[in-house]
Chain A
Amino acid sequence: DTGVSQDPRHKITKRGQNVTFRCDPISEHNRLYWYRQTLGQGPEFLTYFQNEAQLEKSRLLSDRFSAERPKGSFSTLEIQRTEQGDSAMYLCASSRDGSKMFFGSGTQLSVL
């Protein structure tokens, strides 16, 4: 399968714990995006990379959030000191040129 892969699919954690998600994009895509989706809302932009450079971060991305794409291939999104409001589906997408994006299946985070 050559689509966007995300791991894990589900994560349950206690408030205050740190969590890390991984995204493997489509191999020839140099752009990688992170979005967050809550119930009844559309996906909300968090950040994106072109190769290993992080080009934009949303104001939704507080200091507790950090994303990396060290070698321009896979990416990780870490949330420190999780809060109940962080509960959401975290979506990763990749794109060849920034026009059409292809999404992974997402990581559903539940903070108890």
Chain B
Amino acid sequence: DQQVKQNSPSLSVQEGRISILNCDYTNSMFDYFLWYKKYPAEGPTFLISISSIKDKNEDGRFTVFLNKSAKHLSLHIVPSQPGDSAVYFCGLNFGNEKLTFGTGTRLTIIP
């Protein structure tokens, strides 16, 4: 039973426009939510996080939104740049134990 889902395997966005990546989860016990970015043949790199007591966190071009009632997490990147092309994973934590990851979304920024 997959607790974390990223339903879009891929997404293409024009450079300069907004990229929106989505993540849905089933377990309401998750209390800390993270986004990671991964380039081929490298490990995931931490991007941004949010705790369950907030509904928005912003860091430069990256904003994460959390809708607890809908069990939905999203990452907004604006403006999108060619270097943002990568695979993005949401990772969810419960009680500071371990992260459970989604299957990832491959983002391609079109120049």
Given contacts A33-B98, A101-B99, contact A43 B45 (CB under 8 A): no
16 residue pairs bridging A and B, Cβ less than 8 Å apart: A6-B43, A40-B9, A41-B103, A41-B104, A42-B4, A42-B103, A48-B98, A56-B97, A91-B43, A98-B95, A99-B93, A101-B34, A101-B91, A103-B43, A104-B43, A105-B42
Category for how many chain B residues contact A:
20 to 34
Given contacts A33-B98, A42-B103, A45-B99, contact A100 B46 (CB under 8 A): yes
A44: nearest chain-B partner, CB-CB: B101
Q: Is the interface of A mostly helix, strand, loop or mixed?
A: loop
Taking the closest CB of chain A, its distance from the CB of B2, in whole angstroms, is 10
B90: nearest chain-A partner, CB-CB: A42
User: Is residue A65 within 8 Å, beta carbon to beta carbon, of the partner chain?
Assistant: no
Other than the given A40-B9, A100-B34, 5 more pairs (CB < 8 A) read A98-B98, A99-B49, A101-B34, A103-B36, A105-B42
Is B96 a contact of A43 with CB atoms below 8 Å? no
Taking the closest CB of chain A, its distance from the CB of B27, in whole angstroms, is 14
Given contacts A98-B93, A99-B32, contact A43 B44 (CB under 8 A): yes
B44: nearest chain-A partner, CB-CB: A103
Is A45 a contact of B43 with CB atoms below 8 Å? no
A48: chain B residues within 8 A (beta carbon): 97-98
A43: chain B residues within 8 A (beta carbon): 44, 89, 99, 101
